[in-house]
Structure 1
Amino acid sequence: MSSKILNVGLIGFGLSGRYFHAPFLSTNPGFKIKTVVERTKNDAQAFDPEIGNARSVDELLSDESIDLVFICTPNETHFPYAMDALENGKHVVIEKPFAATEEEARQLFAKAEEKGLVLTAYQNRRWDSDFLTLKKLLAEGKLGDIVEYESRYDRFREVVPTESWKEKKVPVGGNLYNLGPHLIDQALVLFGEPETVTADVRAVRPNSEIDDYFDIRLGYKDKLVIVKSSLMVYENKLRYVLHGTKGSFIKGGLDPQEETLRKDILPDTQPWGVEPEDRWGTLYSEGASAIIESEAGDYASFYQNVYDAIVNNAELAVKPEEILRTTRVIDLAIQSSDEKKVLNY
Structure 2
Amino acid sequence: MAAPKQFNVGIVGYGLSAKVFHIPFIDLTPTLTLHSIVQRSPAPGNSAPEDYPSIKHHTTPDALLSDPEVDVVVLCTPPNTHYPLARSALLNNKHVLVEKPFVPSAKEADELSSLARQQNRVLCVYQNRRWDSDFLTVQSLLREGTLGRVVEFETHFDRLRLAKPAGTWKSSLRITEGGGVLYDLGSHLLDQVFVLFGMPTGVTGKFVNQREGRIVNGDGSEEQEPDSVSAVLSYQETGMLVYVRAGVASVESKQMRFWVRGTKASYHKTGLDPQEDWLRAGGKATDAGFGQEDEERYGKLCVATEEGKVEERVCPTVEPETYIRFYDLFAKSLESGDEADAPVPASQAAQVLRIIEAIKESAKTGKEVAP
- TM superposition score category, shorter chain reference: over 0.9
Alignment of 1:301 with 2:302, yes or no, is: no
In structure 1, the partner of 2:357 is 331
Counterpart Cα distance in 2 of 1:2 and 1:312: 14
Match among 269, 281, 284 for residue 251 of structure 1: 269
Match runs of 1:36-75 below 5 Å: 36-41=37-42, 43-75=47-79
Shift of 1:278: 2.2
Question: Equivalences for 1:92-111 in 2 at 5 Å?
Answer: 92-111=96-115
Contact 1:272 1:297 in 2 (8 A): no
Cα distance, 1:271 vs structure 2: 2.9
TM-score, length of structure 1 as denominator length: 0.95
Q: Deviations over 1:64-99 (max 9, x none)?
A: 111111111111111111111111111011111111
Partner of 1:233: 250
Distance 2:265 2:6 in 1: 47
Unaligned runs of 5+ in 1: none
1:202 to 208, 211, 234: 208
Q: How far apart in 2 are the matches of 1:344 and 1:21?
A: 35
Relative to structure 2, which stretch is displaced further, 53-62 or 157-166?
157-166
Residue identity matched to 1:147: V
- Stretches of structure 2 lacking an aligned partner (at least 5 in a row): 214-222, 305-309
Tell me what 1:34 maps to: 35
Check whether the contact 2:284–2:290 (CA below 8 A) recurs between aligned residues.
no
Letter in 1 for 2:90: L
Q: Which amino acid aligns with 1:211?
A: P
- Give the count of matched residue pairs: 345
Which residue number corresponds to residue 273 of structure 1? 291
How high is the sequence identity, in percent, across the aligned residues?
37
Instruction: Quote how far apart the aligned CAs of 1:329 are.
Output: 0.4
1:317 Cα offset (Å): 2.5
Q: State the Cα distance separating 1:202 from its structure 2 match.
A: 2.9
Answer yes or no: is 1:152 the counterpart of 2:153: no
**Is residue 176–residue 201 contact of structure 1 (8 Å, CA) maintained in 2?**
no
Do the aligned partners of 1:175 and 1:210 also contact (CA within 8 Å) in 2?
no
**Cα deviation per residue 1:126-181 (whole Å; 9 max; x = unaligned)?**
00010011111111111000000000011222111333332125332110011111
Q: Distance in 1 between matches of 2:78 and 2:161?
A: 20
Residue in structure 1 matching 2:313, options 265, 284, 290: 290
Q: Which moved more, 1:259-268 or 1:140-149?
A: 259-268
Distance 1:209 1:11, change over 3 A: farther
- Tell me whether 1:192 sits opposite 2:183 in the alignment: no
Q: Is contact 1:26-1:33 (8 Å) kept?
A: yes
Q: 1:233 is matched by which residue type in structure 2?
A: S
Tell me if 1:162 matches 2:166. yes
- Alpha-carbon RMSD across the aligned residues, in angstroms, is 1.8
Counterparts in 2 of 1:77 and 1:313: CA distance versus 1, 3 Å: closer
Q: Is the 8 A contact 2:137 2:317 kept in 1?
A: yes
**Structure 2: which amino acid aligns with 1:226?**
Y
CA contact (8 A) 1:101 1:331 kept: yes
Residue 362 of structure 2 is aligned to residue 344 of structure 1 = no
Query: How far off is 1:284 after superposition?
Result: 0.5
User: Helix, strand or coil for the counterpart of 1:344?
Assistant: coil
Deviation for aligned residue 1:344: 1.8
| TM-score between both structures, scaled by the size of structure 2 | 0.89
Q: How has the CA–CA distance of structure 1 residues 243 and 80 changed in structure 2, closer, same or farther, with 3 Å as cutoff?
A: same
Residues 198, 261 of structure 1: alpha-carbon distance in 2 compared, 3 angstrom cutoff: same
CA drift of 1:280 comes to 0.8
SS of 2:151 mapped into structure 1: strand
**Which secondary structure state, in structure 1, belongs to the residue aligned with residue 204 of structure 2?**
strand
Q: Any conservation in 2 of the 1:247–1:285 contact (CA below 8 Å)?
A: yes
Which one-letter code corresponds to 1:234 in the other structure? Answer: V
**Residue identity in the other structure for 2:189:** L
Which of 72, 76, 82 is matched with 1:78 structurally?
82
- Residue 219, structure 1, aligned to residue 223, structure 2: no
In structure 2, what is the Cα distance between the partners aligned to 1:169 and 1:11?
Answer: 19
